[in-house]
Amino acid sequence: MTNQVATPLYNKLSAAFESRNAADLTPLREAAFAKFKAKGFPSVKEEDWRFTSLVPYLDVDFSVTAEAAGDAGIQQAVDAAAIEGLEAYRLVVVNGRIHSGLSVLPEPDEMHIGPLQEVINTDAFRAHFEAEDHTGGNSFTQLNTAFFTDGVYIEVPKNVSIEKPVHIIHVNTASVPTLFHPRQVIVVNRSAGAVFLETSVSLHPKQAMFFNNVLQVIVKENGECTHYRIQDNAPGERWVHHTQVTQHRTSRYSNYTFSLPGADLIRNNLELKLDGTATESHLYGLYLAAGNQLTDNHTAIEHIHPACQSTEHYKGVLLDNARAVFNGKVFVQREAQQTNAYQQNNNLLISDKATVYAKPQLEIFADDVKCSHGCTIGQFNNESLFYLQSRGIGEESARKLLVEAFMFDVTDKIEHEPIREHLQELIHQKMTAAMAAGA
């Protein structure tokens, strides 16, 4: 075992795994937990975790088994999570399990939605799952595979395009500190299309919770998938998201990740494998961090085949003592000629105590490509601030206007107007609260 941190939690996990029912100890789970035990939790000795120490976030007496969920408060939480003006299907997931009674889903011939546990042991799914599993040595994903309960499996049949977005609402009902392992798999088949929006809510905010979430997305030939994730989490929550995407030829995938003040820790690992010619990928991210929050975004895009395009633009705004990390990698393999890859990261520090670590990376092994990357870290433009104040706008309002203008490049890319308006209102509310708290 190497790079081990949080030994009490590690020991608790080991004991919990060994005491599971024999029916739950599938070869897949046993292999995954063996890999986790061999490596342990990541530490700052690993390059990908160099600026994110997990010690303070794991040093809690977490329960490693989720308590049974009652219905009290769930309906109200789901109703409050609805986005005004957005006509969408609704998939409610409570403590990692589908809540059919509160979900409003497409017809079965339009989209199959069910527990991942029901299909994971079938030969067809296992072959598909293992072929697409490129999580590598990520110990959090191995821990998730060992411990996830039920999970969510979504499949869109070929030649079917779902007209309305599917709003996935994750509800946490735990009243004591708990380590969760939510797992979702989305398959968009040939010439199919779907839009997904993910949000989450906790019934007991300010309670220490750790979410080790894994999402796998497979977009088949000529398929199209758009994925929005709004991370408006409660204080005390710690999130490690791992999203891995495999794209087949002529497919299109768009990811929008918005991280807002609230959670103690947000770590997003977003990994794309462009496994077919003429694929198109778009990654957009916003992170607004305040207080002592740490927001860490790691992205990796692997171009394997010719004539693929990837666009990535992340922007961050940091207040107070907040910290942020952006590490974006683009790999262009030798066979991936005629690749078009663009990556940009921009950061705005509102506080002298805020810190950002940015590391954009390009590794190119092909010669017929068009690739660029860039990064900026700056503070308010005093001339712009003075101009707005000279027009009678107060300093606080002027600062909020400049922040919203800074973020516009990303928010303007949101194709669904109700989602865009909802996010802009959230940003305005969070900025107002953060500036008032820091005044």
Look up residue 134 and give its two tokens. Answer: 């490129």
* Cα–Cα nearest to 237, from 188, 300, 184, 174: 174
Q: Is the pLDDT of residue 13 over 70?
A: yes
For the segment 329-338, the average pLDDT, to the nearest whole number, is 97
Average pLDDT over residues 86-105: 95
Summarize the confidence of residues 34-54 as an average pLDDT. 93
Task: Return the pLDDT at 24.
Answer: 67
CA distance 257 to 273: 18
Statement: residue 381 has pLDDT above 80: no
More confident residue, 22 or 121: 121
Percent of the chain past pLDDT 90, that is, above it, reads 75
Percent of the chain topping pLDDT 70: 93
Q: CA–CA separation, 143 vs 236, rounded Å?
A: 21
DSSP per residue, 391-431: TT--HHHHHHHHHHHHHHHHHTT---HHHHHHHHHHHHHHH
**pLDDT at site 129:** 62
* Alpha helix stretches (DSSP H) within 117-210: 123-132, 139-147
Over range 16-31, report the average pLDDT: 79
Higher confidence at residue 313 or residue 388? Answer: 313
Please report which helix (H) or strand (E) contains residue 323, including its range: strand 323-332
The answer to whether 81 and 69 are in contact (CB under 8 A) is no
Domain boundaries of the chain, sorted by first residue: 68-438
pLDDT at 404: 87
Q: pLDDT confidence of 1, banded at 50, 70, 90?
A: very low
Quote the mean pLDDT of the chain.
91
Chain centroid to CA 135: how far?
15
pLDDT tens sequence across 244-264: 999 999 999 999 999 999 999
Residue range 111-123: average pLDDT? 84
For residue 133, pLDDT over 60 is answered with: no
> Looking at per-residue confidence, does 296 or 386 come out higher?
296
pLDDT value at residue 6: 45
Sign of the alpha-carbon dihedral angle for 407, 408, 413, 414 = positive
Contact 228, 254 (CB under 8 A): no
